Amino acid sequence: MSQNIQSVRGMNDILPGEAEFWELFEETVRSWLKSYGYRPIRMPIVEPTPLFKRAIGEVTDIVEKEMYSFVDSLNGEPLTLRPEGTAGCVRAVIQHNLIAQQPQRLYYMGQMFRHERPQKGRYRQFHQVGVESLGFSGPDIDAEQILMGARLWDDLGLEGIKLQLNTLGQPAERAKHRAELIAYFEKHAELLDEDAKRRLHSNPLRILDSKNPAMQEMIAGAPKLIDHLGAESLAHFEGVQQVLRDAGQPYEINPRLVRGLDYYNLTVFEWVTDRLGAQGTVCAGGRYDGLVEQLGGKPAPACGFAMGVERLIALIRESGGEPAAPGVDVYVVHQGAAASRLAPRVAEGLRDNGIDVLFHCGGGSFKSQMKKADASGAAFAVIIGDDEAAAGEVTLKTLRSEDGQPGQQKRVGVDNVADEIMNSLMDWEEA
């Protein structure tokens, strides 16, 4: 017997039952984004590999070891499944000259791919909702994006997601800090693990992010970037915090928050929960003022964030959230030649009136069809036999009702079924 083919490790099917949570989440997210004036953009899932190397940085975990990169065997082009959305979004903005006239507030949703070790909350295919604003330089947009997050958690009924904030300053300020940092780590070389040694000269800032318990005390004493920031950078950071304080948004400044992608400057932030185990960051982002120019565009400031959809859905489920009950309004049961010709027209007529209909397919006795109708969760069965068909009528049977009296049934003219059903549904809503 041939072996069944399974999905790729770390890439999950989202089945009915789970997928309803996703749809509800996406609906909430879309109306939330609209309420802030963000507009949708859709980029390809595959981009030229050099895009990610240049945007995310050669010496990052993502570029060094997590990208699904391959050579297109048909034309030799180096391609990569997107590990994140910012690079592609900025590429698209430059390519289509989107910010020549005015700044843009954009968002995207979709699959991202990183070859990480799969575990709860960390997958090789995962989904992000990403938000990017391009062309705004002040701290007001950073703060807007942070407060947006807070509102979404509220809209989703999620509590206990905490905000961590930091500033990475500007490249020149970081360079000074970096030199001091390297000198400090060299002084404590005997405490560095292999990873830290490897990063000492390529990306010493990432050492601050190490989880190695043996290095924590030494890391705590390392030179702080904030002590190297000039007046402008400090003012930007203070500007963000001012808006947050005015809005009553609590936050914690975490000087060790450095982010795993190289394009950031000034504000960086993460939303973190302790209810998801090790993978507790549900949303993260910050400012990346250098990236547009670095990817070949006219210099333009930018700021954005992305959230991990799997993690947020896990949190919604963990908080006891329920999507709307699945199911339809009506199940159409039909038997007999004339009935089965009339039934599809009745079903379409109901749908014309905005009623959700599950149409019985596959034949079978009335009894077996009625069992399926009951199991479908529909509020009504519309039953059509040849009797009904000959009279231009249907039998309307209540399967579930608010007054607790299911089982009522009556004959209704074909042209009046929709009205009957809509009136009952409306009565229920009012009750």
Minimal distance, residue 226 CB to ligand HAM, in Å: 21
Decide if residue 113 touches ligand HAM (CB under 6 A).
Answer: no
Decide if residue 114 touches ligand HAM (CB under 6 A).
Answer: yes
Minimal distance, residue 62 CB to ligand HAM, in Å: 7
Residue of minimal Cβ distance to ligand HAM: 308
C-alpha span between 349 and 327 (Å, rounded): 19
Options 113-121, 328-336, 361-369, 412-420: segment touching ligand HAM (CB under 6 A): 113-121
61 contact partners, CB below 8 Å, separation of at least 6: 260
C-alpha span between 196 and 207 (Å, rounded): 6
C-alpha span between 349 and 47 (Å, rounded): 45
For the beta carbon of residue 366, count every other beta carbon within 10 angstroms. Answer: 14
Minimal distance, residue 82 CB to ligand HAM, in Å: 10
Options 78-86, 92-100, 404-412, 416-424: segment touching ligand HAM (CB under 6 A): 78-86
Decide if residue 314 touches ligand HAM (CB under 6 A).
Answer: no
What end-to-end distance do the CA atoms of the chain give, in Å?
Answer: 58
Residue 39, φ and ψ in degrees, nearest 5: -115, 150
234 contact partners, CB below 8 Å, separation of at least 6: none
Decide if residue 360 touches ligand HAM (CB under 6 A).
Answer: no
Decide if residue 142 touches ligand HAM (CB under 6 A).
Answer: no
Residue 360, φ and ψ in degrees, nearest 5: -70, 125
Q: Which amino acid is at 39?
A: R
Decide if residue 90 touches ligand HAM (CB under 6 A).
Answer: no
Nearer to ligand HAM, 62 or 350 (CB): 62
Minimal distance, residue 124 CB to ligand HAM, in Å: 7
Decide if residue 308 touches ligand HAM (CB under 6 A).
Answer: yes
Count of residues interacting with ligand HAM (CB under 6 A): 28
Minimal distance, residue 255 CB to ligand HAM, in Å: 18
The β-bridge partners of 302 are 134
Q: Which of 129, 152, 218, 283 binds ligand HAM (CB under 6 A)?
A: 283
Minimal distance, residue 104 CB to ligand HAM, in Å: 13
What stretch of H or E contains 305? strand 302-308
Contact 53, 262 (CB under 8 A): no
Decide if residue 132 touches ligand HAM (CB under 6 A).
Answer: yes
Contact 180, 223 (CB under 8 A): yes
Options 119-127, 316-324, 394-402, 411-419: segment touching ligand HAM (CB under 6 A): 119-127
Q: Which of 134, 152, 282, 396 binds ligand HAM (CB under 6 A)?
A: 282
Nearer to ligand HAM, 309 or 373 (CB): 309
Angle at 406 between CA 400 and CA 409, to 5 degrees: 115
C-alpha span between 267 and 166 (Å, rounded): 6
C-alpha span between 233 and 211 (Å, rounded): 28
Nearer to ligand HAM, 265 or 281 (CB): 281
Q: Which residues bind ligand HAM (CB under 6 A)?
A: 84-86, 114, 116, 121-123, 126, 128, 130, 132, 260-261, 281-286, 288, 304-308, 310-311
